[in-house]
Amino acid sequence: MSKKLTGVIIGPSGIGKVHLRELINFGFKNIGIVGKRFNSERVTPLSIKHKDINFYNLKSIKEIKKIKPRIINLCSPTKYHYDQILIIKNLCKNLIIEKPILWIKNNKVSNLAITKNLLSKKSNNIYVNLPMISLAKQIKKKNKILKIKR
């Protein structure tokens, strides 16, 4: 494995395509891709278009360990986030998690308590995509608020 920047996308369809584009734009030269179903042709078009980037078509999240990524982008459906975070937090220090961070239907433990527990660990940097500018524009339009500064 090259010492070049390495990243992984979990959930390459939908918003995962945007995260993939951003890894490419930031100069990542090794990119792993994990989807819900393995598709042997998934990385072929990417490899043809971006000849200077090594794409790794991974069969499972556990294979991420082989490529030692600097960052993992979790773009899978929210209902899988918690279980996937428990696995990937041990594979990489930097995690970008597509919003919402998690949502578990469980009467015994609140989502807030679970999230606080995950975020209180000092071993990982967890970043969540919260597009507040978009939210502010929607609120402004709906409620006819004239000024939003932040």
88 belongs to a structural domain: yes
Residue 114 located in a structural domain: yes
150 within some domain: no
**Is 127 part of any domain?**
yes
Residue 47 lies in a domain: yes
Is 1 inside a domain boundary?
no
pLDDT at 6: 92
How many CB atoms neighbour CB 115 within 10 A? 19
CATH of the domain at 103: 3.40.50.720
Query: Is 121 contained in some domain?
Result: yes
Q: Where are the alpha helices (DSSP H) in the chain?
A: 15-25, 44-49, 64-67, 81-88, 111-119, 132-143
Burial per residue of 41-53, b for 16 or more beta-carbon CB atoms within 10 angstroms, e otherwise: ebbeebeeeeeeb
Q: Helix or strand or coil: residue 49?
A: helix
* Predicted TM-score (pTM) of this structure: 0.74
Residue 130 covered by a domain = yes
Question: Which range of residues forms the domain containing residue 70?
Answer: 6-143
The identity of residue 86, as a single letter, is L
Q: How many domains does the chain have?
A: 1
Q: Is 9 helix (H, G, I), strand (E, B) or coil?
A: strand
Q: What angle do CA 79, 84, 89 make, to 5 degrees?
A: 140
Q: What is the pLDDT along the chain (150 residues), one digit of tens a residue?
A: 445 789 999 998 888 888 999 999 999 999 999 988 887 787 888 888 889 999 999 999 999 999 999 999 999 988 888 888 888 888 888 888 887 776 666 666 666 666 666 666 667 777 776 665 655 565 566 555 555 555
